[in-house]
Amino acid sequence: MRTQVGIIGAGPAGLLLSHLLHLRGIESVVIETRSREEIEATLRAGVLEQGTVDLLNESGVGERMRREGMPHEGIILRFSGQSHRIHLSELTRGRSITVYAQHEVIRDLVKARLDAGGQIRFGVKDVSLLDLDTQLPKLRFHDDEGAVRELACDYIAGCDGFHGVSRPSIPSRMRREYTRVYPFGWFGILLEAPPATEELIYAYHERGFALVSTRSPEIQRLYLQCHPSDETGNWPDVRIWEELHARLAGSDGWRLAEGRIFQKGVIAMRSFVVEPMRYGRLFLAGDAAHIVPPTGAKGLNLAVADVRVLAQALAAFYASGRADLLERYSETALKRVWRAEHFSWWMTSMLHRFHDESPFHHRLQLSQLQYVAGSRAAATMLAENYVGLPFEEA
What is the binding site for ligand RFL (CB under 6 A)? 8-14, 31-34, 39, 44-47, 102, 127, 159-161, 164-165, 188, 267, 286-287, 294, 297-301, 303
* Residue of the chain from 46, 51, 137, 158 that contacts ligand PHB (CB under 6 A): 46
Residue 51 contact among ligand RFL, ligand PHB, none, beta carbon within 5 to 8 Å by kind: none
Under the criterion CB under 6 A, does residue 244 sit at the interface with ligand PHB? no
Least Cβ distance, residue 14 to ligand RFL (angstroms): 6
Q: Which entry of ligand RFL, ligand PHB, none binds 195, CB below 5 to 8 A by partner kind?
A: none
- Assess 75 for contact with ligand PHB (CB under 6 A): no
Residue 387 contacts ligand PHB per CB under 6 A:
no
Which x/- pattern, by CB under 6 A, does the window 194-223 give for ligand PHB?
Answer: ------x------------x-------x--
Q: Which does 295 bind (CB under 5 to 8 A by kind): ligand PHB, ligand RFL, none?
A: ligand PHB
Give the binding-site size for ligand PHB (rule: CB under 6 A).
9
| 355 among known catalytic residues | no
C-beta separation of 106 from 12 below 8 A: yes
- With CB atoms as reference, the residue minimizing the distance to ligand PHB is 46
How far is Cα 328 from Cα 326, in angstroms, rounded to an integer? 5
Give 118 or 293: the residue with its C-beta nearer to ligand PHB: 293
Instruction: Select the residue interacting with ligand PHB from 294, 307, 351, 372 (CB under 6 A).
Output: 294
- Report the DSSP pairing between strands 260-275 and 290-291: antiparallel
Q: Report the alpha-carbon distance of residue 364 to residue 346 in Å, rounded.
A: 13
Helix ranges restricted to H, 24-139: 36-41, 50-58, 63-68, 88-91, 102-115
Eight-class DSSP state of 41: H
- Through-space distance between the first and last CA atoms of the chain, rounded to whole angstroms: 31
Q: Which of 50, 166, 169, 295 binds ligand PHB (CB under 6 A)?
A: 295
- Asked if residues 1 and 150 have their Cβ atoms less than 8 Å apart, the reply is yes
Residue 69 Cβ, how far from ligand PHB at the closest point, in Å? Answer: 12
User: Which has the closest alpha carbon to 183: 271, 269, 291?
Assistant: 269
The reply to whether 98 sits near ligand PHB by the rule CB under 6 A is no
Smallest gap, in angstroms, from Cβ of residue 327 to ligand PHB? 34
When asked if residue 293 is in the footprint of ligand PHB (CB under 6 A), the reply is: no
Strands 176-192 and 219-226: antiparallel
Count of positions (residues) in the chain? 394
Which pairing describes strands 260-275 and 219-226: parallel, antiparallel, or unpaired?
Answer: unpaired
Among 20, 21, 31, 47, binds ligand PHB (CB under 6 A): 47
Q: How far is the CB of 252 from ligand RFL (least distance, A)?
A: 26
Contact, 211 vs 306, CB < 8 A? no
**Closer to ligand RFL by Cβ: residue 69 or 294:** 294
Tell me whether residue 267 or residue 366 sits nearer to ligand PHB (CB atom). 267
| Cα separation values, 126 from 9, 134, 146, Å | 13, 22, 10
> What whole-number distance in Å separates Cα of residue 105 and Cα of residue 44?
11
Distance CA 298, CA 288 (A): 14
Non-local (6+) Cβ contacts of 231 within 8 A are: 266
> What single string gives the DSSP state of each residue in 275-296?
ESSEETTEEE-GGGTEE--GGG
The footprint of ligand PHB (CB under 6 A) covers 45-47, 200, 213, 221, 294-295, 297
List active site positions. 72, 202, 294, 298, 386
